[in-house]
């Protein structure tokens, strides 16, 4: 999908933890949230991140999906594809992504979506979930798409070959 002028890239990633956020099985993930989010916020091209309560070690894990305390989400906005890719695949984030099977269940449904938003727009979780539903039901379109639909997503293609990332 081409990058429309005057737009930024929004992304939603949802996951279901293997245990409650207070459980020792997910403690390494929970302890890393603040540091990984801080790297993201300092990354070139970062625009905005859905915030939680601000409590240390919680990220935005309070934003539950469907009332399920183990469903967590990450919603961010970036200037462009390359900025998001650089954060995901060239920072400490990549190490935690590689360990996701330790902390998250494998979901049968699509759990990641991207879409273009007008610069300055801050999507809500409800809006992002609508985009994810659209992607699940209709496949890639201008409304909702994934890494494979972005020809400029080169780091993702390399990482996918290296790690089997989806």
Q: What is the pLDDT of residue 56?
A: 59
Cβ count near 14 (within 10 Å): 22
Q: How far is CA 12 from the centre of its chain?
A: 5
Residues 6 or more apart whose CB falls under 8 angstroms from that of 60 comprise: 49, 50, 51, 52, 72, 73, 74, 75
Residue 78 burial by Cβ neighbours in a 10 Å radius (0-12, 13-18, 19+): buried
The first and second tokens of residue 40, run together, are 């993201």
Residues 6 or more apart whose CB falls under 8 angstroms from that of 24 comprise: none
Residues 103-120, mean pLDDT to the nearest whole number:
94
Residue 163 confidence class, pLDDT cut points 50, 70, 90: very low
Q: What is the pLDDT of residue 60?
A: 59
Per residue in 10-68, pLDDT (tens digit) is 999 999 999 998 999 999 999 998 899 999 999 999 999 998 655 655 555 666 688 88
- Give the alpha-carbon dihedral of 106, 63, 40, 108, to 10 degrees: 20
In angstroms, the CA 61 to CA 5 distance is 32
pLDDT higher than threshold 80 for residue 154: yes
Q: What is the pLDDT of residue 165?
A: 43
pTM: 0.89
Domain 7-163 falls under CATH 3.40.50.150: no
Q: What is the pLDDT of residue 6?
A: 96
Per residue in 122-144, pLDDT (tens digit) is 999 999 999 999 999 999 999 99
On average, the pLDDT of the chain sits at 88
Q: What is the pLDDT of residue 54?
A: 57
Domain layout of the chain by residue ranges: 7-163
């Amino acid at each position: 999908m081409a990058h429309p002028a005057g737009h930024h890239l929004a992304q939603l990633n949802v996951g279901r933890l293997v245990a409650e956020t207070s459980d020792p099985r997910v403690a390494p993930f929970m302890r890393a949230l603040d540091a990984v989010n801080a790297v993201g916020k300092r990354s070139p091209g970062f625009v905005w991140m859905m915030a939680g309560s601000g409590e240390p070690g919680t990220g935005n894990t309070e934003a539950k999906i469907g009332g399920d305390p183990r469903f967590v989400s990450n919603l961010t906005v970036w200037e462009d594809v390359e900025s998001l890719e650089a954060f995901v695949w060239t920072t400490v984030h990549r190490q935690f992504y590689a360990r996701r099977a330790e902390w998250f269940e494998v979901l049968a449904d699509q759990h990641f979506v991207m879409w273009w938003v007008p610069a300055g727009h801050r999507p809500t979780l409800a809006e992002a979930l609508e985009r994810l539903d659209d992607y699940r039901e209709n496949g890639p379109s201008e409304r909702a798409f994934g890494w494979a639909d972005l020809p400029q997503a080169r780091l993702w293609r390399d990482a996918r070959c290296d790690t089997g990332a989806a």
